Structure 1
Amino acid sequence: MKFTEFGFEPPILEALDAMGFDTPTPIQVQAIPAIMQNRDVIACAQTGTGKTAAFVLPILNAICKRGSSEKVSTIVIVPTRELAMQIDQQVEGLSYFTNATSIAIYGGGDGQSFDSEKKALTTGADIVICTPGRFISHLSMGYFDTSGVKHLILDEADRMLDMGFNEDISRIAEQLPKERQNLMFSATMPPKIRQLSNQLLKDPITINIAISKPNEGILQAAYLVHNNQKIALIKHLLKGKDHDFILVFSSRKSSVKEITAALNKQGMPAKSIHSDLTQQEREAVLLDFKNKKIQLLVATDVLSRGIDIQGINLVINYDIPSDAEDYVHRIGRTARGDNTGVAITFINADECYNFSKIEKLIEKEVHKLALPEGFEEGPKYDTTYKKPFKGKKNFSKKGNWSKKPAK
């Protein structure tokens, strides 16, 4: 199937052609027709499968057909500022030949950014991509007219529920017109997602695409290591990879800082993303990594979901993520599309049980590699020892918004 077969308006097809998109992904093949028929949809698909375009394209097509208005027509709720920024960038690209407008709304900015958001909401940006808390801040001020909202979209819905946004989502939905289209996209489908779906969606079409399984193009391996061996092992693994693009994940901000400092001291230029950076600093680092100005990025789990960066060759898990599902999202940053990649995980003695849960989830035993020559023996893979562990979640563009003329 080709994008030309969906019946998109000419400006949408022109944008797809300009961006080099010809063939839709499986999630797009199933979701786009249902959304264009104005059906509610709940879709479960891995990251990297094109699910953002699966809802952005039909929404933009609808805006093209009815014309841009002076009221917001579409609300997209997302868990993090990084995902809001990324979706806004995709909307800008896919809407380039239309007069549709969008803005990303999220916390952490200054008063000037809040005023810019207020102007977009009151003047009528067509598509608003927002984090729940920031959007509620605007709703509570009373100046946002919700009567024009025709589409409510929840992206990374499972992540938002994990972060405790259930009540915020319900509060937002209650203030929107009842006669609207509801779309829910999630990487997993636990019972709480089903409950939210029953609450918000009306007779939805359900779409399931490869739930919770890593891309087959990812070569997975693991090392059993003591904590005091991890930094040395990273340095060893990165030797000779001068042309690779590498992403290192850690659940803890302190570890991210420690790894970054150690690599830079070793003459391996690395940047990091964590909650201590300002909004502008995070955006600059992420943009440099996307544009291949940085080859080595160390980050917390804020980057494990939804961030689509092509060309990452290697993902290293410095530790085990706090949720088994997050492992799938972490390693999913490599082998995007039809590409291949490598994911290496460090497992200490306390993490064996939790890693066995990951192996059960992905229905695959990850090969345990022997430590390189010169390293002392690591711990045994004892999955009977269960020690609770806690992960931290770190959250964090303000796009310049204005009505744009049709091109």
Structure 2
Amino acid sequence: MNYIQPSAIQELTIPLILAGKDLLASAQTGTGKTAAYLIPLLDQVIRSQSNQTSALVLVPTRELAKQIDEQIEGFSYFINATSIAIYGGGKGEDWDQQRKALVHGADIIIATPGRLMAHMKSGEVKFDHIKCLVLDEADKMLDMGFSDDILFVLKHLPAKRQNLMFSATMPKKIRDFAHKILNNPEEVRLATSKPAEGIDQQFYLANDEQKIPLLAHLLKSADVQSVIIFSSQRTMIDKIIRALTKLKLEARGISSDVSQQERENILRDFKNKQYKILVATDVLSRGIDINNLSHVINFDVPRDAEDYIHRIGRTARAETTGTAITFINEKDQYRIRNIEKLLEKEVEKQNITESLGLGVAPEFKSGNPKNKFKKPSGSANKNKTKRKFFRPAKKTSGS
């Protein structure tokens, strides 16, 4: 699989996992976190030669579950190890296949919490031999409301086990949750909540009605090999695809409204370069690894600053380079301030709509009142008086 040298997160965490330590680990997207736990887990599988499930990996989305299952298939090509991804809704044709794998035991189970809990409530599934639990993209699972489901699963696992938590970000809620389930964990943190250095971040000011023609201009003028266009609204997916189709630009879409089989087919064809434009909601913002993705475009600003990090982290993976473009309308400007606070820098805002004949773009207001700014550490005012707001900064280039 062309792994020559371990990445930093792999070099630091694999010895700890092999030593049986509980672990709380975070690193930038695209740095090899999945392999960091899969490789030592597979090592344990081939050493134990048990016919029982020994590792359980919980993930937030079905796409990530399937991808990890495929990675296990690649890593275990020359060894005797089995795995299955447990995901989906309702008792469809996959239910019996998943139930049999859970009852009779695959070495590694990768599952979304809700689906796994549904199987466990049937009374047939037992996890008495689990030696290791992995929570991958734990912060996203909490954001999606899976905390109760996770705690339900934990109650049915052996008390004596190894626990591993991996994420690209480490907000306070994750640290608090980690204290509930980890036993004296080792902690590894590498440049969390920061995008990879190889990402060229570009911000463009545009009203909603200017976004489609601006998008078309950028897609035609830039060297776009493959691009994911993110929208926070499912209803916008089809609108964007229809608009691009009229411009003779082939695009496909993925959201939670699309059937599982269709989502898998669309993602497979995109990875195989059958088409180069994929429009998606945040179901694709976590953990999905796509080789040579040249661009990520945020059709709207994500609601949370850390979701921005995850979205743009789909490009410039494994020390490559890529471009991340974000459109900013007037109402989303306060979210940009939150992103810049997380990035610890201001990003230039480009205004090109008028030059393209699309009309005047909204002006970026530096002192948006929805933000609470901290004074810079080098500020001349060093008193510690707490204040709700500070005066708007003077306009600088790009503001």
Give the TM-score normalised by structure 1: 0.88
State whether residues 32 and 55 of structure 1, in contact with CA within 8 Å, keep that contact through their aligned partners in structure 2: yes
- Distance across 2 between alignment mates of 1:110 and 1:277: 17
Q: Give the Cα separation in 2 of the matches to 1:179 and 1:243.
A: 50
CA displacement, residues 40-83 of structure 1 (integer Å, 9 cap, x when unaligned): 1110112211000000000000111111x232111100001011
Q: Distance in 2 between matches of 1:370 and 1:385?
A: 18
Residue in structure 2 matching 1:42, options 3, 11, 24: 24
Distance 1:252 1:178, change over 3 A: same
Percent identity, aligned pairs only? 52
Partner of 2:362 in structure 1? Answer: 379
Shift of 1:184: 0.6
Structure 2: which 5+ runs fail to align? Answer: 372-399
User: How far did residue 193 of structure 1 move?
Assistant: 1.1
DSSP-derived class of the 2:331 partner: helix
State how far apart, in whole Å, the 2-side matches of 1:113 and 1:106 are: 9
Is 2:172 aligned against 1:191? Answer: yes
Amino acid at match of 1:38: G
Alignment of 1:347-362 (within 5 A): 347-362=328-343
1:9-41 deviation line (CA, Å, top 9, x unaligned): xxxxxxxxxx12110100000110000001111
1:336 deviates by: 1.1
Letter in 2 for 1:174: K
**Does the 8 A contact of 1:80 with 1:131 survive in 2?**
yes
In structure 1, the partner of 2:9 is 27
Describe the superposition over 1:298-337 as per-residue Cα deviations: whole angstroms up to 9, x where unpaired. Answer: 1111111100101111111110101110111111111111
Instruction: Please state how far the C-alpha of 1:195 moved relative to its aligned partner.
Output: 1.6
CA contact (8 A) 2:9 2:31 kept: yes
**Is the Cα–Cα contact under 8 Å of residues 109 and 279 in structure 1 kept in the other structure?**
no
Query: Aligned Cα RMSD in Å?
Result: 1.4
Structure 1 residue runs of 5 or longer lacking an equivalent are 1-18, 389-407
**Greater mean alpha carbon deviation, residues 87-96 or residues 334-343:** 334-343
Task: Judge which range, 174-183 or 232-241, deviates more.
Answer: 232-241
Amino acid at match of 1:62: Q
Alpha-carbon distance in 1 for matches of 2:270, 2:166: 26
Q: The residue matched to 2:115 in structure 1 has which SS?
A: helix
CA distance in structure 2 between the partners assigned to 1:129 and 1:196 by the alignment: 20
Q: How many equivalent residue pairs?
A: 369
Partner of 1:167: 148
Aligned partner of 1:51 in structure 2 is 33
Q: Which moved more, 1:104-113 or 1:150-159?
A: 104-113
Q: Is the 8 A contact 1:350 1:386 kept in 2?
A: no
AA matched with 2:347: V
* Cα pair 1:75 1:129 within 8 Å, conserved: yes
Shift of 1:276: 1.9
Superimposed CA distance per residue, residues 211-254 of structure 1 (whole angstroms, 9 cap, x where no aligned partner): 11111111111111111100010111111457621111110011
State how far apart, in whole Å, the 1-side matches of 2:369 and 2:143 are.
Answer: 22
2:314 is equivalent to residue 312 of structure 1: no
What is the alpha-carbon distance in structure 2 between the residues aligned to residue 280 and residue 387 of structure 1? 42
Partner of 2:79: 98
Please tell me whether residue 154 in structure 1 is matched to residue 132 in structure 2.
no
| Correspondence 1:176 to 2:157 | yes
Tell me the residue number matched to 1:13: none
User: TM-score of the superposition, structure 2-length normalised?
Assistant: 0.90
